Amino acid sequence: MAGAAREVLTLQLGHFAGFVGAHWWNQQDAALGRLAGAKELPEELCPDVLYRAGQTLHGQETYTPRLILMDLKGSLSSLKQEGGLYQDKHLDAAIAWQGKLTTHKEELQAKNPFLQNLLSAEGVMSSDGVWRVQAFPSGKDIPSLTRAFPSNPKSLIPPEGSIKVWSDFLHVQLHPKSICIIQKYNHDGEAGRLEGFGQGESLLQEPTYLEELEDRLHFYVEECDYLQGFQVLCDLHDGFSGLGAKATELLQDEYAGRGILTWGLLPGPYTLGEPQKNFYRLFNTALGLVNIAAHSSLVCPLSLGGSLGLRPEPPVTFPHLRYDVTLPYHSSALLATALDTITVPYRLCSSSISMVHLADMLSFSGRKVVTAGASIPFPAAPGHSLPDTLAQFGGTIPCTPLSACGEPSGTRSFAQSVVLRGVDKTRQTSQISPGTSPSSPLHACTSGEEVLAQYLQQLQPGVLSSSQLLLSPCRVVPPYPRFFSSRLNQQGLILDGTHNGTAVETIPVLTTLCSSSLLHRALGRLAGELANLDLRRWASFLAAGVEQDDMEETIQELHNLAQCYKDGDSLIN
């Protein structure tokens, strides 16, 4: 890989985080397939930032995510906790006991058709019990999803009804150190659920789970040459918010000076008919945001819902998508696509921006909570240049808000990181004939990077902005959901009429990561909703390890955070 990798270790904490992570890693794998099979685009992103090279005990080379994943009992379906790359029936531990033995074996669930097809394409189990991965011309032994089924793409699309858990559509092979299952709590059923912040917090106060996490952290960190930090995908709506708070505290204590970027995930909108679940969601979200922000370089809530609190708001919409917000398979795909572009600055092959630099730029003056937005896909049309496309938006950035904090209109940005990917080199600037005056300052720019930077400066003069422009688009090959408008062509560009050709394979994407006065309103409202509740009605939540004083302190901390975003020039109160 080009250049020295600045490694990142990813933590996924929770079941919805598993959904987002499964799409995330599938997209990384699809990008690896493009790099191996096509040379028309330069290698802009360094996969070694997220992946690690290894070797099985049989000498087979592997390339697996640098990942620690924590979820509950019953969340793996047919996926084995130790993964499939390193299995070996000859390495089972010898049993010294000579007496009578009783074996209790839990039957694995059958793989859905998608995973069955995938498994048969990737390799076979040999007679000696060793998994043999098919070799591919690219030189890498780990097959990419985009190379596995070149002639039958429909077999790669899992029926939506077959997807119950994230492992039902995860394509990427994981290292045995990746998956950590919390046996104390159940994923399914009404009993034994990880519902409250206090429950999750107490898990990492138990030696068993604390040592499990520390062991896995040391395994991955010690093999890194230059660890730039950790990206934490953490559920905020349930007890994993508490586990995430303790995990980020551990990272801050053990790895001072490294970046810790936490993405607080919330599934689709809630229903008013479940009051206890909704109040737990509110409590967990508030406690999680405050405590995780205290131990992270940056924290960003991510959701397709319209509100962090109890006030019902409609989910966000995308003009060229027909997604179902109630399906985690759909909503997590969109959040993963946004993350894949938002995180570009610290994954580039050649860039001076690290996780710490990105966080420092956005979080000055105590503003450690940021919001995200995305244009999926970025509304570009064939034959239109980037200056033409941006000029038609007028005075706005065409982004859908992804942080459940409301619409950003009328607010002021303090700092922002903007990434646009998937714009062909020939369309990045305006092709002006000699002697012709440019129709706007954007059309006079000589590079795509200059076009994007000048557009942001025109929209928000004086705002600290960092912008990146990439040639490579975001790949959305199966098992990514097929929810695109019929007006999109194979490259995700918008046509005048209906397109009846091949399925969308790539899309241009624009994302923003922003510190703005919008958070003054959003965090203040969240604090206000908490303050108006009678906590004595929810004794079960307090009994799970959170005290009344903790809640009062959280309300005050939310008010303090909100004040960091107050701006006298903004149009909101």
* 7 three-class SS: strand
- Closest residue by Cα to residue 505 from 81, 22, 33, 16: 33
Strand partners, 465: 416
pLDDT-above-90 percentage for the chain? 61
Tell me the pLDDT band of 316, cut-offs 50, 70 and 90.
very high
R_g (Cα) of the chain, nearest Å = 24
DSSP 252: H
Between the alpha carbon of residue 227 and those of residues 258, 517, 524, the distances in Å are: 7, 33, 36
Contact status, residue 502 vs residue 490, Cβ threshold 8 Å: yes
Tell me the pLDDT band of 363, cut-offs 50, 70 and 90.
very high
pLDDT at residue 558 above 80? Answer: yes
CA separation for the pair 422, 436 (Å, rounded): 28
Half-sphere exposure (CA, 13 Å, Cβ side) for 22?
A: 29
pTM of structure: 0.90
* Rounded average pLDDT over 226-244: 97
According to the model, what pLDDT value does residue 440 have?
87
Which residue type does 114 have? F
Tell me: the pLDDT tens digits for 111-137? 666 666 655 555 544 544 444 444 433
Q: Respond yes or no on whether the N-terminal peptide bond of residue 508 is cis (omega within 30° of 0).
A: no
CA separation for the pair 159, 333 (Å, rounded): 15
In total, the chain counts a number of residues equal to 573
* Rounded average pLDDT over 223-229: 95
pLDDT at residue 90 above 70? Answer: no
* Rounded average pLDDT over 142-156: 47
Contact status, residue 448 vs residue 386, Cβ threshold 8 Å: yes
CA separation for the pair 373, 379 (Å, rounded): 14
According to the model, what pLDDT value does residue 105 have?
53
According to the model, what pLDDT value does residue 327 have?
93
According to the model, what pLDDT value does residue 146 have?
41
Tell me the pLDDT band of 230, cut-offs 50, 70 and 90.
very high
- Closest residue by Cα to residue 379 from 482, 513, 501, 495: 495
Contact status, residue 279 vs residue 542, Cβ threshold 8 Å: no
Tokens for 521? 């309103």
CA separation for the pair 74, 82 (Å, rounded): 15
Exposed, middle or buried by CB within 10 Å (0-12, 13-18, 19+), for 37? middle
Contact status, residue 287 vs residue 550, Cβ threshold 8 Å: yes
CA separation for the pair 256, 455 (Å, rounded): 37
Question: Which residues neighbour 446 within 8 Å (Cβ) at sequence distance 6 or greater?
Answer: 429
* Rounded average pLDDT over 501-509: 90
pLDDT at residue 434 above 80? Answer: no
CA separation for the pair 126, 295 (Å, rounded): 47
* 408 three-class SS: coil
Give the rounded distance of the alpha carbon of 334 from its chain centre.
9
Contact status, residue 167 vs residue 80, Cβ threshold 8 Å: no
Task: Flag the least confident range among 46-50, 150-154, 328-332, 489-493.
Answer: 150-154
* Rounded average pLDDT over 93-122: 56
Place of tokens 């646009």: 420
Share in percent of the chain as helix, strand, coil (round to 5): 35, 20, 45
Specify the higher pLDDT residue, 433 or 477. Answer: 477
According to the model, what pLDDT value does residue 129 have?
46
State the Cα torsion 73-18-347-53 to the nearest 10°.
40
Strand partners, 55: 61
CA separation for the pair 568, 71 (Å, rounded): 44
Question: Which residues neighbour 295 within 8 Å (Cβ) at sequence distance 6 or greater?
Answer: 245, 248, 249, 251, 252, 260
Cβ neighbours of 215 (radius 10 Å)? 12
Query: What is the rounded average pLDDT for all residues in the chain?
Result: 85
According to the model, what pLDDT value does residue 112 have?
61
DSSP state string for 471-486:
SS-EE--TTS---B-T
Reported in sequence order, the residue ranges of 259-311 that DSSP labels E, i.e. its strands, are 259-265, 298-302
pLDDT at residue 198 above 60? Answer: yes
CA separation for the pair 492, 375 (Å, rounded): 12
Specify the higher pLDDT residue, 538 or 495. Answer: 495
CA separation for the pair 153, 146 (Å, rounded): 9
Tokens for 337? 């696509």
Specify the higher pLDDT residue, 271 or 479. Answer: 479
According to the model, what pLDDT value does residue 78 have?
66
